Structure 1
Amino acid sequence: MNFLSRIFGRPAAQPVQDQAVLIYLDGQGLPEEVYADCDLMTLEEQLEHALGSGELGVVDGNEVSTDEVQLFLYGADAEAMVRAIEPVLRAYPLCQGARVVVRRGAPGAEQREFFVKP
C-alpha cells in the first residue's frame, strides 16, 4: 500500500492499459481434428501464462460467432504482449491462420496486423 492510499484508504490508481492485441480465430475452416483436440479455455490459459499472469497484460474475454472467434488482450505495451504470446500462437493448432491486430493505443489508434502461418 502506498502513502496516499494509507492516508485516504483507497488503492493507488492502476496504470492505463489501453493498448490491445485482438486475435481473430477461424471458427470453421480448420481441420475437424483441430476443433476436436483444442479448446478456447486452454488457449486462453496459455496466453495468460505467456503474459506473466497479468504482468504484461490480460486476456479480457472473447466473442464467438458462427465463423470466427475473437480474443481480446489488453495491456500497457501491445508490442511486448505480442512478443510474449507469439510462441503460443504459432504452436497452438487452433491459431492456424489467425489474424492478429496489434493496436498501440485506445480504439482508433495506430495498428498493424499479421496472420499466424500454419
Structure 2
Amino acid sequence: MEHYRKALHVREQSPSTPHFLISRLLNNMANCYRKMGNFAEAHKLLDRAIELAKVDRQEGVSSLASAYETRGSILKDEGRDAEAVEMFQRSHAERKRIPSPSFESIVENLEEEIAALKRLGRVEVILAEDRLASVNAARDEVAQVDRDLSSLIYQAKGSVLVEIGYGSRPGNWYGRQDSAKLAVDLMDAAESQNAGFCSGSVTIPESTTLILYGEDAEALFRAIQPILISEQICEGATITIRQGKEIRELIVPGRRVM
C-alpha cells in the first residue's frame, strides 16, 4: 500500500496522466484494502476509481469493468451477495463492449456471479451458466499457436519499453496509425545514433508498448528522448529502461525536460 500511495502521488502530480491510469491504480489500492479487510476504505477508493473510469469510458478507454468487478468482490466478502451480483453483471456488460475482451476475465467474472447466485438460491443462475458455457466454447475455438521460440532469443544487453496509454479500444484520441508513426520516429532516432532498433509493439485494449533493443539502454533512451518529449502522444507514457538485471522506470510528464 505504501508503494501504491507513492505511485498515486506521482501520477496525480502530472496533469497529463490519463484518467484510466489513476483509476486503475485506485482499483489496485481498493483490492489491497479488501485483502486487508478494510472494506470501508476500499469502497471510498472505488468511488473515485469509478468516477474517473466513467470519464475515460466516454473517451473510449474503459476501466469500469475492473472497478465493478472489484466492488463485486468486496460486497461478496462482506456477505452482500445480492449487491455483488449486480456489480458482477455490470462488469460483464462492460467487458462485452470491448472489441477484444479477455476470455479469462469474463470467465472469472461469470464464475463469481454464478457462485453468488447459487448462495442466494436464485433461478438466474441457469442463464449465467449458459453464458459461461458460451464463453468457454468461444475461447476453445481460438487457434492455439505452437511454435519453438528458442531461435528468436535476441542477445542485446539493453532494452527500452515505451508504454503509451492508447490501445485497441475504439474512440481513443490516437489510433494504430499514430502509434505506428511513433514507432518509425523512435526507430529512426535510435538508428541515426547507432543506439539500437525498434523490434515491434504489443497492443492490448488499454495501451500500446513499443519495444526497442540496444547494447546500452541508457544511450538508447537518450537517443529517443527528444521524440518522447516532443510528441504529444507520449505524454503520460511509462518508460522502462533495462540493462541486464538493472531496471528503472519513469513517466513522461509532458513537454518538459526529463
TM-score band w.r.t. shorter chain: 0.7 to 0.9
Name stretches of at least 5 consecutive residues in structure 2 with no aligned partner. Answer: 1-154
Higher relative contact order (CA 8 A, sep 6+): 1
TM superposition shift of 1:53:
4.8
1:42-97 Cα offsets, whole Å, 9 max, x none, are 11111111112582101011000000111110010000011110110111111110
Given that residues 174 and 233 in structure 2 are in contact (C-alpha distance below 8 angstroms), is that contact kept between their aligned partners in structure 1? yes
Checking the alignment, whether the CA contact within 8 Å between 1:18 and 1:76 is kept in structure 2 is: yes
Residues paired across the two proteins, number? 97
Higher helix residue share: 2
Distance 2:246 2:179 in 1: 28
Q: Report the equivalent of 1:10.
A: none
Tell me which stretches of 4 or more aligned residues in structure 1 moved more than 3 Å.
none
Q: Which has the higher strand share?
A: 1
TM-score norm. by structure 2 comes to: 0.35
| 1:39 CA displacement | 0.4
- Please provide the CA RMSD for this pair: 2.3
1:62-77 to structure 2, matched below 5 A, reads 62-77=201-216
> Which moved further from structure 2: 46-55 or 88-97?
46-55
Map 1:34-113; keep pairs closer than 5 Å.
Answer: 34-35=173-174, 39-53=178-192, 55-105=194-244, 109-113=245-249
Q: TM-score, normalised by structure 1?
A: 0.73
Deviation string, structure 1 residues 96-116 (Cα, Å, up to 9, x no partner)? 1000000012xxx11101011
Check the 8 A contact 1:57/1:75 in 2, yes or no: yes
Deviation at 1:117, TM superposition (A): 1.0
| Counterparts of 1:44 and 1:79, CA distance in 2 | 18
